[in-house]
Chains A and B, each alone.
Chain A
């Protein structure tokens, strides 16, 4: 079965600095999708960024970018110029047939 591992339960970053959240996954499939979701204290799940496994180019959305290493089965999220509003739980997710989520990383942003 596919599994998704987020090895950092908590991370902290200074405002305006850069932080990287780690995610690894286990699969035998070649075609799949990867996602990062943000969950602020409101509990609302918000899609941050999406990567298609067959695309070599790393996805980027404004201050958010990923480092997708298919052979290593690694999918890290980089947040540049961190803002106070970035504080949240971040979930990595893998989807082929259906979505599997990691356990999450709680990001704190210090002013």
Chain B
């Protein structure tokens, strides 16, 4: 069955370190997204991609970067981790080209703690 996976599921790191969170989907979806979830804010979009070599900033992109070299993967990098980036991170994917109405399929989430 097709799925979307994230690794690691839990990560503890120190302030200033570079951290990369992996996202891999086997749906063959064009669109991939990264969100962070914080209490009182719901999910907020960090970066998104509508295809290979395409990346775009979301509403909370400062301190994060992504790259899309193939359809299946969209890794999220924290260039220099800060305590404010302690959060649960979700990756999602969807099918149709820039499809506004299609369902997003979410990964299981990564809990990141920055000490």
Contact = CB atoms under 8 A, between A and B. Distances in A.
B101 A98 contact: no
Contacts of A47: 103-104
A96 interface: yes
A32 B40 contact: no
Contacts, number: 48
Interface of B: 33, 35, 40-45, 48, 58-59, 88, 90, 92, 100-101, 103-104, 106, 108-109
Interface of A: 1, 4, 6, 32-33, 42-45, 47, 50, 52, 91, 93, 95-104
A101 B108 contact: no
A6 B42 CA distance: 10
B103 A98 contact: no
Contact of A32 (B35, B44, B45, B100): B100
Contacts of B41: 103
Given A96-B100, A98-B48, A99-B104, A45 B40 contact: no
A4 B88 CA distance: 20
Closest 3 CB pairs of A and B: A101-B42, A45-B106, A33-B101
Contacts of B40: 103
A33 B109 CA distance: 24
Contact of A98 (B45, B88, B90, B108): B45
